[in-house]
Amino acid sequence: MTAWRVAKALLALRIQVDALAPRRNKASDGTIGDRRHESSASDHNPWVRDGATGVVTAMDITHSPDLGCDAGTLAAAFREQRDPRIKYIIWNRRIANSSAVGGAPAWGWRRYTGANPHDHHIHISVKPEPASYDSQTAWALPASLKTVPVS
């Protein structure tokens, strides 16, 4: 494998998430492609090039509601904030692209039917341009990632 690194925008996101939920479970965290992401189309594969280095533009963050990191709360925050760095998110059998896809509006949920239902982690992909994937601008996250009751 060639040299690879993780998009700085996603590393910055993980630092913020860890600060908000320092005790969170990380069992389903991931960056570089692993057994869950064998498709060559996955952004977990470092297909984005920064010179000779491949850039992984996807990150998984474990759903850990009992330890302060509810992936549903994160998903809601991403969809509300519409951070321009995001390409798409996947959470709990649904996918939301930041642009309109297949008749669905930008950021609208669509059914996700991939082999992994993504109910143990949220997947975040950032766009393949350096201005997006390496932007370390603070992410707009809620003050707590604890479970938000559905009203």
Nearest-CB residue to Zn ion?
123
Out of 60, 70, 83, 134, which residue is the one contacting Zn ion (CB under 5 A)?
60
Structure token pair of residue 103 = 């008749």
Q: Does residue 63 interact with Zn ion by CB under 5 A?
A: no
Closer residue to Zn ion, CB minimum distance, 38 or 105: 38
Using CB under 5 A as the binding criterion, the count of chain residues that bind Zn ion stands at: 2
Task: Confirm or reject binding of residue 70 to Zn ion (CB under 5 A).
Answer: no
Query: Minimum Å distance from CB 146 to Zn ion?
Result: 23
In the sheet that holds 121-126, the strands lie side by side as 58-62, 121-126, 86-91, 94-97, 109-111
> Pick from 102, 4, 21, 25: which is nearest to 88 by CA?
102
CB 12 within 8 A of CB 139: yes
DSSP state of 25: -
User: Three-state SS for 103?
Assistant: coil
Minimum Å gap between C-beta 118 and Zn ion is 7
Q: Which of residues 122-141 bind Zn ion (CB under 5 A)?
A: 123
| Distance of closest approach, residue 95 Cβ to Zn ion, in angstroms | 11
Binding footprint of Zn ion on the chain (CB under 5 A): 60, 123
